[in-house]
Amino acid sequence: MQEQHDVVVIGGGQAGLAMSSVLQQRGREHVVLERRRIGERWRTERWDSLRFQFPNWSLQLPGYTYRGNDPDGFAHYSEILRLLEDYAASTGAPVREHTEVRSLAGHTTGQGFQVSLVEGSLHARRIVVATGPFQLPRIPRLAHDIPPSVLQIDPTGYRCPEALPSGGVLVVGSGASGCQIAEELLHAGRSVYLSLSRHRRAPRRFRGKDVYWWLEALGRFAQTIESFPARQYPPSTVVTGVNGGHDVNARQLALDGVKVLGRIIGADGGNLAVQDNANQVLDEADKAYADFLSAARQFVSNGIEADLAEEEPQEPLPPITVEEVRSLGLTKGGINTIIWATGYAHDFDWVRIPVFDDRGRPLQQHGVTPIPGLYFLGLHWMHTFKSGLLSGVGADAEFLANHMD
């Protein structure tokens, strides 16, 4: 007889463990399937110096809040891994590690779902797909036109400056990963080129409060994906927890010696075509920063929160306009490494159920799909910005559990 379960949760990261905790609280039978080990991406896809981008006090999961002695610090990624391991043990999550799901389909009986494994299969009444917010590094096709002598990796394969070939490094993408890696390489004495992508800037701290506190206070975390036209969410806000946490500004990186340029749009051997939009991207990021400060000051003027420090005067950066370039020669620039920090795509080829749009995105609202009993959890901007954060998966898990009842 085929093994059967009420709920099968696919993925043993923070989303899957949060879902398990909520299901246990409700006495609902389930199993969590993890293809490798609990928190695998925190084990094998993080660079050496990476720290959590929000303060420790924001670390939350169902039944867990941070109780350490450094609430305003920023945890090293290895601490997040230990948190997940300890959380799984303390909640008694029924996780089956080294259990890879080959495919998910409707069950042959027409009732529930068939979960095909490397060895055997399961029958489930309900499925929660919780395989992580960032699944498959998105590498542009033009990467195939770059000489094989140039090492090409993405942030999941980067570890430290010393592990890269000698010479210059081109970092493509100015989200949190791209900016942090570019900054680290610069401080290591490397020649660094940074190809900008659209992003938003915000202060690491304002009036004594971290940006996470402000995002909550200003209602940014409560804004849903449905509030954006065609469900197109805004660019990422760039922050870092390295060295106690500080502002990230591509203009400052340019002043410090990073060669900042526009978007890479083509490749012909060792020559890259570059869009002359660097200053436009920088201006948009500056506007996001100014809008954030304006909203925060309006919040203060409304007298909603009195427990704030005095606003400290900010020393403006010297005026800087990036020199726009239309091309970049890899050999001429001494560039031997390219790091594609160009975002992530979904990896759902194994789901054999018609529940995706023409761009491969799950058709879902707050994790609930049109297919009865099939749910998603932990996706980036699945419902709100917090949906993809460790501190947000618990609320979404509660919502899904309520929908199952």
First-to-last alpha carbon distance for the chain, in angstroms, is: 27
pLDDT at 1: 61
pLDDT at 385: 95
DSSP, collapsed to helix, strand or coil, labels residue 288 as helix
Ordered per-residue pLDDT tens for the chain, 405 residues: 689 999 999 999 999 999 999 999 999 999 999 999 999 999 999 999 999 999 999 999 999 999 999 999 999 999 999 999 999 999 999 999 999 999 999 988 888 999 999 989 999 999 999 999 989 999 999 999 999 999 999 999 999 999 999 999 999 999 999 999 999 999 999 999 999 999 999 999 999 999 999 999 999 999 999 999 989 999 999 999 999 999 999 999 999 999 999 999 999 989 999 999 999 999 999 999 999 999 999 999 887 666 899 888 887 777 789 999 999 999 999 999 999 999 999 999 999 999 999 989 999 999 999 999 999 999 999 999 999 999 999 999 999 999 998
- Residues belonging to the chain: 405
Taken in order 70, 83, 60, 377, is the CA torsion positive or negative? positive
8 Å CB contact between 52 and 14:
no
CATH of 3-135+346-404, one of 3.50.50.60, 3.10.20.740, 3.30.70.260, 3.30.465.10: 3.50.50.60
CA gap 126, 322 in Å, rounded: 53
8 Å CB contact between 33 and 129:
no
Looking at the DSSP assignment, which residues form a beta bridge with residue 202? Answer: none
Listed by start position, the domains of the chain span 3-135+346-404, 139-340
What is the residue type of 277?
A: N
Query: CB within 8 A of 396, min separation 6: which ones?
Result: 366, 367, 377, 378, 382, 383, 387
Residue 55, classified by CB atoms within 10 Å of its CB into exposed (0-12), middle (13-18) or buried (19+), is buried
CA gap 355, 371 in Å, rounded: 7
Kindly report the number of other CB atoms within 10 A of residue 362's CB atom: 18
pLDDT at 314: 80
